[in-house]
Chains A and B, each alone.
Chain A
Amino acid sequence: GAVVSQHPSWVICKSGTSVKIECRSLDFQATTMFWYRQFPKQSLMLMATSNEGSKATYEQGVEKDKFLINHASLTLSTLTVTSAHPEDSSFYICSAIPSGRAREQYFGPGTRLTVT
C-alpha cells in the first residue's frame, strides 16, 4: 500500500479563528487529492477535489471561501477552515490517488476538528 499522512490529527480552536490541515502523500506522487468530511456515525461526504497546480473543484453546497484548498505540490494539499464555527466541528479526511494508478486510492488518518 501507500501512506498518506495528515497533520494535525486533532485540533481545538476558538470560534472565528482559522485552522489549516495538511495532507501529504509520503511515498508516492498524487496529481489528485480529495477532502472528505465525516460526521459521527455517518458516511464520508466529499467536499472537494484538489488537482495539483489548479483550483479545487468543490461539491455542491460546500463554501469555497470557507474551505480553502491548496494543492501546491504533487505530495501536499492543504485545507484551511476559515472563520471556523462550532458547526464546522467534524472529522476531516484527505485521500490521494497515486499518479498513474487509478485503481488505488489511499486515505489519511483524519483530523478531528473541534470548534469551541
Chain B
Amino acid sequence: AQKITQTQPGMFVQEKEAVTLDCTYDTSDPSYGLFWYKQPSSGEMIFLIYQGSYDQQNATEGRYSLNFQKARKSANLVISASQLGDSAMYFCAMREGLQGNTGFQKLVFGTGTRLLVSP
C-alpha cells in the first residue's frame, strides 16, 4: 500500500498567490513525522517544514505552513505569496517509529508535485 500519496502531478499558480499542495499518508504507527522537501532542477533536496504526529499546532516556517489534519491523515503544504523561485518539484515524506528503533527511521517519499509559478 502506498504510504504517501500526492495526487497532483502538476500545479500552476500565479506569482504572489497562495497554493496548496496535497499529501495524504497511511500509517498505523502513532509516532511519526511528516516532511516536505523542495527539489529544484539542480537536484538538491531542500528541507522546508516538519510536522510531528504529536505536535499540537500546525507547523509554520516563513511562507510555508502545513495544514495537518490528523484524523484525515493529510498534511498539505501551503505556500503563501508564491515567488518565481518556488517553481520546483515538491515531495511529501513520512518517517514512522520516531521513538526507539533506528531501523524505522527511514523516510518514505511520495511521487511529488511539480509546481510552476507564472509571472
Interface set of A (CB-CB < 8 Å, partner B)? 1, 31-32, 34, 38, 42-44, 46, 49, 51, 57, 91, 93, 95, 97, 102-110, 112
Q: Which residue of chain A has its CB nearest to the CB of B98?
A: A102
A95 to B42, CA, bound (A): 16
B:76-95 near A, CB below 8 Å: 91, 95
- What residues on B are CB-neighbors of A49 within 8 Å? 102-103, 105-106
Count of interface residues, chain B, beta-carbon cutoff 8 Å: 24
Can you report 9 A-B residue pairs in the complex whose CB atoms are below 8 A from each other? A43-B91, A43-B111, A43-B112, A46-B106, A46-B107, A49-B103, A95-B107, A105-B47, A109-B43
A96 to B2, CA, bound (A): 24
Q: B105 contacts A43, CB within 8 Å? A: no
Partner of B103, one of A1, A31, A57, A112: A57
- What residues on A are CB-neighbors of B52 within 8 Å? 103
- What residues on A are CB-neighbors of B108 within 8 Å? 46
Q: A97 contacts B105, CB within 8 Å? A: yes
Given A31-B102, A51-B102, A91-B43, do A105 and B95 touch, yes or no (CB 8 Å)? yes
Q: Which residue of chain B has its CB nearest to the CB of A102?
A: B98
A57 to B112, CA, bound (A): 25
- What residues on B are CB-neighbors of A46 within 8 Å? 106-108
A57 to B102, CA, bound (A): 11
A104 to B44, CA, bound (A): 16
17 more CB-based (< 8 A) A-B contacts, given A32-B102, A105-B107: A32-B105, A34-B106, A38-B43, A43-B109, A43-B111, A44-B91, A44-B109, A46-B106, A46-B107, A49-B102, A95-B45, A102-B98, A103-B33, A107-B37, A107-B45, A107-B46, A108-B44
A97 to B106, CA, bound (A): 10
- Asked if B35 is at the interface (CB within 8 A of a chain A CB), the reply is yes
